[in-house]
Structure 1
Amino acid sequence: MDAANTILQNDEVYTLKSTARYAAPVVDCANYYRALHEAIEKAQRSIFIVGWDIDSRVRLLRGEEEKASELPSVISELINLKASENPDLRVYLLRWDSSLAFFGMREIWAKEVWDEKTPENVHTVLDGSIPMGGSQHQKIVIIDDELAFSGGMDVAVHRWDTREHRLVEPERDDGDGSYGPFHDVQVAVSGPIVKELSKLVRWRWNRLVDETQQITESTEQRHPDNTDQLPNCWPQSVKPLLENIDCAVSQTIPFMDDVEPVQEVRKMLLALIEQAEEFIYIENQFANRGEIAEALNRRLKACPKLRVLIVSSYQPKGTMETEAYWAGRIDFKRILENGIEDERVLVAYSGSTNKEGVEGQKRVHAKVMVIDDAYFVIGSSNLSNRSMSLDTECDLTFVASTEKHREQIAWFRNDLISEHAGWSVEDVQSFIDGENTFKQLTQCKEKYAYCLHEADDKIFTDQSLQQLLTPIGDPQEPIVPSIPLFNGKRLSIPNPSKRGLVITATIVIIALLVGGGYLLSQNVDWMSKDHLQALLESLRDSPWAIIAVCGIYIIAGILFFPVTVLSLAVAMVFGAVWGVIYGMAGVMASTAVLFFFGHLIGDKGLRSFIGPKINKIDKKFAENGIFGVAVIRMIPIAPFSLVNLVAGISSIKLVYFLAGTFLGMLPPMIIKGVVGGSIADIIRDPTPKHIGLLVGGLVAWILLAYGSQKLVNYFQNTRGKSKNLEQSATEVHEQV
């Protein structure tokens, strides 16, 4: 069978075809992250990373390697160092803008995080153009336009693991708790194929940015394609497996406003299945696409010698995954096995039990298909509905043209099966060549080794929710259909951005708190101004008055009750002098309590939730200190309680925050005392004097707000000029 002529002549199954001078599958994330660290270390001109996620917190090295490395292990620190040392290095990070479904797993303010942690030659874009329900699922890295990685691996949390997949592994913890064994596959390539992937990545970038951010550099490689040497940036830990092998890049691209849909991945996988004669090996996170199962079943019936082995995950995570994917795998398996002898098909997972009796299974995230010893695919695509039509995907298909290629492809397949089944590579090949292949593969060679077990998904679901949740969890089309326009085109509705969702949710929460406080004050007797005033009047002559007032302020602060209304009520009851004293005591007590409450929330996760926004508040407090707090208090730009909570999350010290609050709240509190006392006096005795005090207090209140704003503007302008003068002096000094 001339594999190259069979597949690569069909231009409907790929975006482009080319040749890999060198190609090396990289198995499991410990190996990939190490290789990525080495490649970034050697980068001289450019780094492109396209991913479902690019998490700034991920440690690329672990254990002794991390301790021994002279360079940072955390990817953001590594890129920051490289970009700072080499201003000519350009780094481009293209990450999916995410979905509400992954709210707790990913950095919410991803762009701001990267912008804050790296210099100006590191550029970040969030892809929010994918239709609603879809995702940016390609995982591509390109270094200096000479080396490319592509496959199933992202720079994301809960991915790192070694090929041993120990059931208890301390390094499988990204700071938010441990996770189980995790398996994945990437491929490293060099040669002409990298030029084509470079063009693809640049196209992805340029369609998302304005003209000022377009990438126009030449994609010419400085490393000649015809040399036998590896590129300078090739990772030292990766040994090439194949040389001069033909390959093709297949994509899934959903319909977007400026792009016509592409379903090359789907067509390529179906075409490859039609080439199979003896053995198909598949590793995939999901296997629920009925069309793929039907194609496999047809080919099994057409080729009596053909066998199919699929290795996937075992335990689902959550109801959505259970009903959208595991329930679908029940149907997939039923279609696949229909009319086929049991020994010819196996859908399995890899599990183990250690000496301590701990049981576990690998979470398979790889997307691999090997057809006989003629073709293999390493990509980002799952055997799911969304990967065939709705997500953006990128698969690389390698095509054998020599006997050596075939031997190497067979070895790669057997090496993967060996990891899952616990048998040697040689044993695996003998089982494939012999009879009862799957019966032998599923026998455990060693008591504590990983073994293959047939998957039985019916223990997880009765499929009762499958029809309801599959269109949401694994849709073939956008959840919200595109809108037809008058010019005959259609407008796609993208996913709402995570940043927009957070901002909207924050505004809604604040509005509900403020509005709820107002409604309570209007409709609940004990929360009304009259009730509060009556309560305060009952305490007027009590020795516990100041303690009671502080307690009321604390409760009102927690309920986001307007502090101005409360302060006026206190002044009306206790008068202009004692009203100010008691009011300031209550303000300081409420401030301290909510500060500590905000600090507690921050320690439990609110800081990571808000992200760099908190860092910016930190910077404001650090630059302005007590004065900055005082200005915020005099100019009510945010609710009193919200400012207290945010301050607790920031790095400002309580003593400074209280001092700034005292200085900022005292002037308006004095005016509120005058106004509140005047209102009480007018109620009792509406004389011209009392009316004049009221009018004067209101005017003073307005002038205070206006004057505070002017003072802030003057301060900021003066400070800005000073910084510019300081910067200019520094530049002159450097030139001299």
Structure 2
Amino acid sequence: MSNNASSLFKENENCWQTSQATHATPLIDGANYYRALHKAICNAKRSIFIVGWDIDSRIRLLRGDEEKNASAPSVISELLKWKAEQNENIKIYLLRWDSSLAFFSQREMWAKEVWDNKTPDNVKTTLDSTIPMGGSQHQKIVVIDDEIAFSGGMDVSTNRWDTREHLIDQPERVGPDGPHGPLHDVQVLTSGPIVESFAQLVRWRWDRINEQKATPFSPVKSTGSGVPPSWPNNFPPSMADLPCAVARTIPFMDGVEPVQEVRRMLLDLIAQAERFIFIENQFTTRQEIAEALNARLKACPELQVIIVSSYEPKGKFESEAYWASRIDFKRILENGVDDNRVKVTYSTLTNEAGESIQKRVHSKVMSIDDRYLVIGSSNISNRSMSLDTEVDLVFAGDTSQNQQDIIRVRHDLLAEHTGRAIEQVEQIFKSPDPLNNLINDQAPHGYQLAEVRDDQFTNKAWQPVFSSLSDPEKPLIAPIQMSNGKVVGVGNPKQKTIVFMMIALLILVLGGLIFWAGHSIPWLTADNLEQFLQDTRGTMWVIPTICVIYIIAGLVFFPVTVLSLAVAAVYGPIWGPVYGMLGALLSSATLFGLGHLMGIKGLRKMGGAKVQAVDDKFKDSGVVGVAVIRLIPIAPFSLVNLVAGISSIGLVQFLAGTFLGMFPPMIAKGLVGDSLGKIFTNPSPETIGYLVAGIAFWALMIYVCQKLARMYQLKKADAS
């Protein structure tokens, strides 16, 4: 074995580029990463690149007193807007995966539109939909001013923030979707020559899918041995002058040759191990890696291996694809090896009150003795080795100081997982049996490592089905060879496409039901319905009938104007508007309640900017705002009712505004609807004149309402 650890790195084989990190510091857990990222964005002067599986505009980077006392906004979208407005020459690029159906409910809807609406023109957003069907954009990179880079396992996404204490009760551990449990993750911050590799990578990702190319690489020449100006000074470097390599997974994409540098790097690293391999990873399913670990354990009698992952799965896909496969991974790993030499574990806490909680592990870290440290985005899964886009940063221990830096990171992480001080872990690793000394005699009420028992979560019956969908090695749909010989990949459907397909499916189902009802229910004909309405005139059933019709029409988003015209045609210009107004109010109240039950999460996610526009009107203007929306509709009648249910306005205020905004136009609709009905039964100059007058009155009312609304908005703006 070579004394020079970095000699293992082979460009275009197990890595893309080799380089050096002048300064580096691991950022352990979300609170630290978000705090460092916030400071670095505040320091930025020329450019910011963020590439992620997700970039959620709602995420708060700071919490508690730090958030209250900050001079810059905490929410990521507000922070980037602030930075872009503060410095009009700065260029900000956001590249996020255009996610698939599997993550539809977990992601912010209409992400590009949201970011474009929230930020100025020098913030550019794009969604990458070029990843093969079943794969994902999984790299997590931030490059600032081409002088510092963040990379690792963390996104700016929901359910990521937590402190290193991973408390059972943590009020600040709440995101846009509500509270979440403890989560552990690792990112690394670097400066020096290595940043150019990440700068090239993010520009390549951006330029291949955008006509408007990113700003060229432009680092500021270093003026000394200190950290660059954009480095967050609240996180001083803990490592220095480390040789390193960048390893990627790139799947087949149009015009791109696939690479599996991560897979080859991990296999080569494992083959170098002699005494201790430490792994923490979200998923461990890749049997090839289990076989390599097992072979190395058998070849090196002194070698010990510990893996730290999560305790329980989230949902059927995780239990049947990842936890079922972890059973196989563990079986292969331990085959023919003494149990005392290998442990697959999770980190758990039981406090003095008997409350228990398990830390969810999302990090992707591996250390090999004191020679190598990997911090990256790659899971030990099939998809991370071949189908997703991944990037790992691998540090090599060429000098004694490099080796001490690598060891310190390992001890720091194991101290967190076992509830010990770093000094205690250091002493344990001086013993001949560090693995079992780590597991034994752990603090009774701190975090402890316990061995996984995955058979309690799955009987593996559905493993073949769910693994093929959730953890595939190849695209779910193979690339297609065209007649001209070109091979074209089939990507995941875009988020917009999924939404439109769902809407089309809903319309198709409703249309099918209406068609079926029209042909299967003998009495359900237009003539019978008209006769039924006519028969209710002057009876006790008129009001219940109108109310039921308006409620049903509201639920299926039937245009309220068409319905009001029809009611006026049947009941006349006086009672038609009265009945129509009553039905509209009841329909509004019904959908208001439905919107309240649906909640912000579902409705706001589906409606995107249109929902936000309606809600902003409610917040700004109350009853008057509702009246303005009803007079000058900015969204369909039913959507306004649903959005009102999740807004800050009350039901009484909403109905009052609805009445004020709808009753004047309802009178005009009564004249028009009544005239339309009479034209068909008794066409005469008088009825035609009524129709023309009604339409003119309606148009005049819309014009006057627009003027009044504009005057009100200008007056309110002047007052504020």
- In structure 2, the CA distance between the partners of 1:309 and 1:575, relative to structure 1 (3 Å rule), is closer
In 2, distance between residues paired with 1:579 and 1:10?
79
Aligned residue for 1:481, secondary structure, equals coil
1:368-417 deviation per Cα after TM superposition (whole angstroms, max 9, x unaligned): 11111011110000000000001000100111111111122112212211
In 1, distance between residues paired with 2:511 and 2:640?
13
Aligned length in residues: 704
- In structure 2, the CA distance between the partners of 1:405 and 1:581, relative to structure 1 (3 Å rule), is closer
Verify the 8 A CA contact 1:631 1:708 in the aligned structure 2. no
Verify the 8 A CA contact 1:48 1:92 in the aligned structure 2. yes
Verify the 8 A CA contact 1:584 1:666 in the aligned structure 2. no
In 2, distance between residues paired with 1:269 and 1:328?
19
Aligned pairs (5 A) from 1:452-463: 452-463=449-460
Gaps of at least 5 residues in structure 2 are 715-720
- In structure 2, the CA distance between the partners of 1:206 and 1:704, relative to structure 1 (3 Å rule), is farther
Q: CA RMSD in A?
A: 3.5
In 1, distance between residues paired with 2:498 and 2:690?
39
Which amino acid is 2:279 matched to? I
> Counterpart of 1:475?
472
> Counterpart of 1:465?
462
1:103-155 deviation per Cα after TM superposition (whole angstroms, max 9, x unaligned): 22221121222222222211111111111111110011111111111101111
Verify the 8 A CA contact 2:679 2:688 in the aligned structure 1. no
Aligned residue for 2:384, secondary structure, equals helix
> Counterpart of 1:218?
217
In 1, distance between residues paired with 2:697 and 2:118?
37
The yes-or-no answer on 1:171 pairing with 2:172 is yes
- In structure 2, the CA distance between the partners of 1:552 and 1:6, relative to structure 1 (3 Å rule), is closer
Q: CA deviation at 1:498?
A: 1.4
In 2, distance between residues paired with 1:314 and 1:625?
49
Q: CA deviation at 1:50?
A: 0.8
1:500-542 deviation per Cα after TM superposition (whole angstroms, max 9, x unaligned): 2123323433454466456546644565444444443443233
The yes-or-no answer on 1:198 pairing with 2:195 is no
Q: CA deviation at 1:197?
A: 0.9
Deviates more, 1:198-207 or 1:379-388: 198-207
1:644-690 deviation per Cα after TM superposition (whole angstroms, max 9, x unaligned): 545766789544444443344443432322333455xx4xxxxxxx2
Aligned pairs (5 A) from 1:157-556: 157-210=158-211, 213-224=212-223, 227-510=224-507, 512-513=509-510, 516-517=513-514, 520=517, 523-524=520-521, 528-542=525-539, 545-546=542-543, 548-556=545-553
Aligned pairs (5 A) from 1:544-693: 545-546=542-543, 548-559=545-556, 570=567, 574-575=571-572, 578-579=575-576, 581-591=578-588, 593-595=590-592, 597-598=594-595, 601=598, 603=600, 605-617=602-614, 629-630=630-631, 632=633, 641=638, 644-645=641-642, 653-677=654-678, 679=680, 682=681, 690-692=682-684
Verify the 8 A CA contact 1:251 1:263 in the aligned structure 2. yes
> Counterpart of 2:127?
126
In 2, distance between residues paired with 1:88 and 1:397?
34
Q: CA deviation at 1:595?
A: 4.9
Q: CA deviation at 1:439?
A: 2.4
- In structure 2, the CA distance between the partners of 1:575 and 1:423, relative to structure 1 (3 Å rule), is closer
Aligned residue for 1:494, secondary structure, equals coil
Verify the 8 A CA contact 1:282 1:369 in the aligned structure 2. yes
- In structure 2, the CA distance between the partners of 1:576 and 1:336, relative to structure 1 (3 Å rule), is same
Q: CA deviation at 1:352?
A: 1.3
Which amino acid is 2:31 matched to? A
Which amino acid is 1:199 matched to? Q
In 2, distance between residues paired with 1:709 and 1:309?
77
Aligned residue for 1:104, secondary structure, equals helix
> Counterpart of 1:730?
none
In 2, distance between residues paired with 1:649 and 1:695?
44
Q: CA deviation at 1:299?
A: 1.3
In 2, distance between residues paired with 1:506 and 1:706?
36
In 2, distance between residues paired with 1:522 and 1:668?
32
In 2, distance between residues paired with 1:11 and 1:573?
78
1:231-284 deviation per Cα after TM superposition (whole angstroms, max 9, x unaligned): 111112223222111111010011001211111000111111111111111111
Which amino acid is 2:159 matched to? H
Q: CA deviation at 1:63?
A: 2.1
In 2, distance between residues paired with 1:107 and 1:242?
36
- In structure 2, the CA distance between the partners of 1:9 and 1:571, relative to structure 1 (3 Å rule), is closer
- In structure 2, the CA distance between the partners of 1:692 and 1:195, relative to structure 1 (3 Å rule), is same
Verify the 8 A CA contact 1:280 1:309 in the aligned structure 2. yes
> Counterpart of 1:734?
none
- In structure 2, the CA distance between the partners of 1:711 and 1:339, relative to structure 1 (3 Å rule), is same
Q: CA deviation at 1:546?
A: 4.1
Aligned residue for 2:96, secondary structure, equals strand
Gaps of at least 5 residues in structure 1 are 683-689, 724-736
Deviates more, 1:528-537 or 1:317-326: 528-537
Deviates more, 1:640-649 or 1:30-39: 640-649
- In structure 2, the CA distance between the partners of 1:558 and 1:611, relative to structure 1 (3 Å rule), is closer
Verify the 8 A CA contact 1:571 1:677 in the aligned structure 2. no
Verify the 8 A CA contact 1:575 1:677 in the aligned structure 2. no
In 2, distance between residues paired with 1:579 and 1:8?
81
In 1, distance between residues paired with 2:27 and 2:676?
74
Which amino acid is 1:471 matched to? S
Aligned pairs (5 A) from 1:97-112: 97-112=98-113
> Counterpart of 1:732?
none
Deviates more, 1:294-303 or 1:214-223: 214-223
> Counterpart of 2:718?
none
Verify the 8 A CA contact 2:140 2:153 in the aligned structure 1. yes
In 1, distance between residues paired with 2:515 and 2:632?
25
In 2, distance between residues paired with 1:94 and 1:382?
21
> Counterpart of 2:47?
46
- In structure 2, the CA distance between the partners of 1:358 and 1:507, relative to structure 1 (3 Å rule), is same
Aligned residue for 1:613, secondary structure, equals helix
1:604-653 deviation per Cα after TM superposition (whole angstroms, max 9, x unaligned): 641244232223445789899857644659xxx96x64565457667895
Verify the 8 A CA contact 1:35 1:238 in the aligned structure 2. yes
Q: CA deviation at 1:84?
A: 1.3
Q: CA deviation at 1:426?
A: 3.6
Which amino acid is 1:84 matched to? E
Aligned residue for 2:365, secondary structure, equals strand
Which amino acid is 2:379 matched to? N
Deviates more, 1:169-178 or 1:502-511: 502-511
Verify the 8 A CA contact 1:266 1:388 in the aligned structure 2. yes
Aligned residue for 1:401, secondary structure, equals coil
In 1, distance between residues paired with 2:512 and 2:659?
27
> Counterpart of 1:156?
157
In 1, distance between residues paired with 2:372 and 2:608?
45
In 1, distance between residues paired with 2:190 and 2:639?
52
Q: CA deviation at 1:440?
A: 1.7
Aligned residue for 1:103, secondary structure, equals helix
In 2, distance between residues paired with 1:132 and 1:697?
61
> Counterpart of 2:80?
79
In 2, distance between residues paired with 1:452 and 1:23?
28
